[in-house]
Copies of this chain bind each other. A is one copy, B any other.
Amino acid sequence: MNFPTLSDIRAAHERIQPFIHRTPVLTSTAINEIAGCEIFFKCENFQKVGAFKARGAANAVLKLSPEQKAKGVATHSSGNHAAALARAASVAGIPSYIVMPSNAPEIKKKAVKGYGGEIIECEPTQKDRETTLEAVVERTGATFIPPFDYLDVIEGQATCALELLEELPDLDVVIAPVGGGGLLAGTALTVHYLNPKTQVIAGEPTGADDAFRSFREGAIIPNTTTQTMADGLLTTLGKLPFAIIQKHVEDILLATDPEIVEAMRLVYERMKVVIEPSGAVPLAALLANKERFSGRKVGIIISGGNVDLGKLPF
């Protein structure tokens, strides 16, 4: 398997740079005191579309051939990838077709429409999402850009850690959340290339712990049910990300929903920053395993800030 190399990742960063934010790295003395270590938060909640997903989608779209571009891109998603792909397509001036379940939140549909994406509704089942998408691709000739199980997307997500390590080359650990695994795999590749001594650790919600179990078993064990507020991390780990994670990730740590709420609260109260539950999982996992990080320099990727303000857990 040809995983992205360091020069591939650097090229991806050059490619997408005009279309994404270089997000800030924030620190909080108060949170450091509570955690007993020195934390550097890479704030992808400030990223375009409010999540790191803007990186992978932009990279995948910009790498298409002119012929592919002419026919546009398609995906099925009810979350941040939908908006990210619609935006990337809009930036590239090409059409996008987004298959969304009929019960997707109105605000997510609005975001996709705002970027000029065409929404195709389907039944809220995995099967109908897939068959609807197949029909769309058949009809339009658009290229399917999956949310994480796709090398160009992983390559794009890898640019986040590139910025973080350019700023802080001597981190002891980087913690990223894991859902489908695109961000974690990209992070693991970049960190491996730039500083093999830096450990990469994942944070995962206890209520959707397929990556935790898969990592220990050495084979993907899908979630049969999921129950967590971290709605960005419900998907089962992808095959490509898993291959990278097995090689370059040190460990996967779990956090319960009450621990996630507490980590969210800390970030809102002490850093005055809005993050989504999934974005709080790495800090929650760190705080649940404080002794392991004691006195160390830790980079944490805050994956996104798209939260329904009417449903905050406070």
Residues of A within 8 A of B (CB): 24, 45-46, 50, 265, 268-269, 271-275, 305, 309-310, 312, 314
B314 touches A310 (CB 8 A): yes
Are A273 and B275 in touch, CB under 8 angstroms? no
Are A272 and B314 closer than 8 Å at their CB atoms? Answer: no
The answer to whether B272 and A45 touch across the interface, beta carbons within 8 angstroms, is: yes
Contact indicator B305/A265 (Cβ below 8 Å): no
Residue of B nearest to A309 (CB): B314
A272 touches B275 (CB 8 A): yes
Contacts A272-B274, A273-B274, A275-B272 known; A309 to B45 CB distance under 8 Å?
Answer: no
Q: Give the oligomeric copy count.
A: 2
A269 surroundings in chain B (CB, below 8 A): 274, 309
CA–CA, A92 and B314, complex, Å? 35
Q: How far is the CA of A268 from the CA of B50 in the complex (A)?
A: 11
Contact: B305 with A272, CB < 8 Å? yes
Nearest-CB residue, chain B, relative to A114 = B30
Task: Write the nearest CB–CB distance from A311 to chain B, whole angstroms.
Answer: 9
Q: Is the CB of B309 within 8 A of A268?
A: yes
Question: How many whole Å from A173's CB to the nearest CB in chain B?
Answer: 25
Q: Which residues of B contact A273 (CB under 8 A)?
A: 272-274
A45 to chain B, nearest CB (A): 5
Cβ of A305: which chain B residues have Cβ within 8 Å of it? 272
- CA distance in complex: A268, B309 (Å): 8
- Least CB distance, A115 to chain B, in whole angstroms: 12
The answer for the CA separation of A46 and B28 in the assembled complex, in Å, is 10
Q: Which residues of chain B have C-beta atoms less than 8 A from A310's C-beta?
A: 314
Within 8 Å CB of A309, what residues of B? 265, 268-269, 312, 314
- A274 to B312: give the CA distance in the assembly, Å: 13
| Bound CA span A272–B46, Å | 7
Quote the shortest CB–CB distance from A114 to chain B (angstroms): 9
In the complex, A309 Cα to B46 Cα: how many Å?
A: 20
Further pairs besides A269-B309, A272-B274, A309-B312: 14, Cβ < 8 Å: A45-B272, A46-B271, A46-B272, A50-B272, A265-B309, A268-B309, A269-B274, A272-B273, A272-B275, A272-B305, A273-B273, A309-B314, A310-B314, A312-B314
Shortest A47–chain B CB gap in Å is: 9
Residues in B with CB closer than 8 Å to A265 are: 309
Give Cα A113 to B272, complex, Å: 21
Could you list some 14 contacts between A and B, CB below 8 A?
Answer: A45-B272, A46-B271, A46-B272, A50-B272, A265-B309, A268-B274, A269-B309, A272-B273, A273-B273, A273-B274, A274-B274, A310-B314, A312-B312, A312-B314
Residue of B nearest to A30 (CB): B114
A50–B269 Cα distance when bound, in Å, is: 9
